[in-house]
Amino acid sequence: MPIEADAELVERYLTHVRVEKRLAARTVTLYGLDLEKLTEFALQAAVPLTAVQNHHIRRWVAQMNAGGRSGRGIGLILSGWRGFYAWLGREGLISANPVQDVRAPKQPRPLPKALGVDEAMHLADHVDDDDDPWLEARDAAMVELLYGGGLRVGELVGLDVAPSDAAARAGRGWIDAQAGEVHVQGKGGKRRAVPLGRAAAEALGRWLAVRGQVGALAEASTSADAAKADRAGDAVLALFIGQRGTRLTAQSIWQRLRRRSLRAGLATPVHPHMLRHSFASHVLQSSGDLRAVQELLGHANIGTTQVYTRLDFQHLAMAYDAAHPRARKK
C-alpha cells in the first residue's frame, strides 16, 4: 500500500474519533501523534499499516523501551494503536488486531519516599512553642508513634487508650504502656504488637496527662442525649481526639502532620505514610533484619517489605560515593 494510502487511513480514523466519537481536540491530537509514530515504524519496515503483524508491534515496543521511553508512555501509545487497528477491523480492512495481546513493559516499582535519619530526628524532636500546649502534646505523640512504631494512619486513628471488648469488636487497637507495646489491627484483620520505644512512651505520657482537658469531652460524657453519649463513649476510649472531644480522622492527622513538618523547617511536607517508610528504612539500615521489619510493619508478604532493601542499597551507594577513594571524582 502506498504511503498516501496509509496517510488517508490515518486521517479517516482521526475524523472518526473527532466527529463520531466526539473526543476532545487534545485527545485527537495525541492519537495523531501516536499514529505518526506508528507510520514512521511501518515506513522503516517497508510494510503498509494494514499488513502490520504482531511481531512488528513487539519489535517496535522493544525499540521504544530501549530508547528510554517509559512503560507508561509506551502503554499510552499502544492504546492509541489498538484503537486504530480495532477500527480497521470494523471497516473490514484487516482480519486480526496486531496490537491486541501486546503489553507495555512493566514500570519499575517506585521507591517509597522516606526521610533521612537527620530529618526524621529533627521532626520528632521539634517543639512548637507557638502552638496550643494541648495540641502540641497530642501532635508530638502522634509523630512518635508514626515514626517510632511504623503505624499506618488508619491504625493510629483506631488506637484506644486501653483494651476493651468494644475495641476488639470494632477492630481497633490500644496502648499497653505497662508492657511497652502498641496493639494494632492492620490490613486483613491481622493483629500485631509493636514495641513502644522510650521516646514514644514519654511523648504519650505527656499527651495522656493533658488529654482529658477538653470541655466538649466532659460535656458529652455527662449528657443524657443518646447521640452525644455514643460520641462520648468513643471519645473516652480514643487515644487521639480533637478539641471537640471526638476521635481524630485520618484527614486531620494528615493536615496536622503537614503543618508540623513545615513549621519544623523541613523542605518537603511530610505525610503519615512517609514516616512509616522512614521507620522501615531506618530499622533496616541499622539491623539488616528484613524479617523483623516485615513483622513490625505487618506485611503478609515479605516481597512487599523487600522494596525497602532498595532504599537501603541507595543509602549504601551514597555512603560509598562519599567515602570510597575510587568513587571520588578527580
Element (H, E) at 41: helix 25-44
pLDDT at 222: 43
Contact partners, residue 185, CB within 8 Å, separation at least 6: 155, 158, 171, 172, 173, 191
User: Within 10 A of 309 (CB to CB), how many other CB atoms are there?
Assistant: 14
Residue-wise pLDDT for 125-145, tens only, equals 999 998 999 999 999 999 999
**Which candidate, 271, 262, 256, places its Cα nearest to that of 122?**
262
pLDDT at 142: 97
Helix (H, G, I), strand (E, B) or coil at 31: helix
If you count them, how many residues does the chain have?
330
Catalytic center residues: 152, 187, 273, 276, 299, 308
pLDDT at 281: 86
DSSP state of 143: H
pLDDT at 166: 82
pLDDT at 291: 83
State the sign of the Cα–Cα–Cα–Cα dihedral 134, 139, 142, 148. negative
Residue-wise pLDDT for 185-206, tens only, equals 888 788 888 889 899 999 999 9
pLDDT at 288: 79
pLDDT at 263: 94
Contact partners, residue 8, CB within 8 Å, separation at least 6: none
What is the distance between the alpha carbons of residues 243 and 248, in angstroms, rounded to a whole number?
Answer: 9
**C-alpha distance from residue 122 to each of 144, 188, 254, 260 (Å):** 12, 34, 18, 11
* Angle between helix 290-297 and 272-287 (nearest 10): 150
pLDDT at 314: 55
pLDDT at 34: 94
Full-model pTM: 0.61
Contact partners, residue 253, CB within 8 Å, separation at least 6: 142, 153, 156, 157, 240, 272
User: What is the mean pLDDT of each successive set of 10 residues along the chain, which is 330 residues long?
Assistant: 79 92 89 94 94 95 91 92 94 93 79 83 93 95 93 93 85 90 86 90 95 64 44 74 92 96 93 91 82 82 71 51 52
pLDDT at 223: 44
Within 13 Å and on the Cβ side, how many CA atoms surround 53? 4
What are the chain's domains? 3-90 (1.10.150), 117-320 (1.10.443.10)
Element (H, E) at 239: none
pLDDT at 89: 94
